[in-house]
Amino acid sequence: MARKLAVDREVLGAVRLETGRTVDEELKSIQAMARLLDSRFELMGIRFGADAIVGLVPVLGDAVTLLAGSAALATSMRLRLPWHVHARIAGNLVTDAAIGAVPLLGDAFDLFFRSHKRNFRLVERHVLKRAAAQSKTSG
Residues 6+ apart with CB under 8 A from 137: none
Q: What's the distance, CA 74 to chain centroid?
A: 10
pLDDT in tens, 19-77: 788 888 889 999 999 999 999 999 999 999 999 999 888 888 889 999 999 999 999 99
User: What is the structure's pLDDT at 137?
Assistant: 73
What percent of the chain is predicted at pLDDT more than 70?
Answer: 86
User: What is the structure's pLDDT at 92?
Assistant: 96
Global confidence as pTM: 0.85
Domain ranges across the chain? 22-130
Compute the distance between CA of residue 122 and CA of residue 118 in angstroms, rounded to an integer: 6
User: What is the structure's pLDDT at 138?
Assistant: 64
- The pLDDT of residue 8 is above 70: no
User: What is the structure's pLDDT at 75?
Assistant: 92
Alpha helices per DSSP H over the chain = 9-14, 23-38, 50-54, 60-78, 83-100, 105-113, 115-138
Band of residue 1 on the pLDDT scale cut at 50, 70, 90:
very low
User: What is the structure's pLDDT at 15?
Assistant: 73
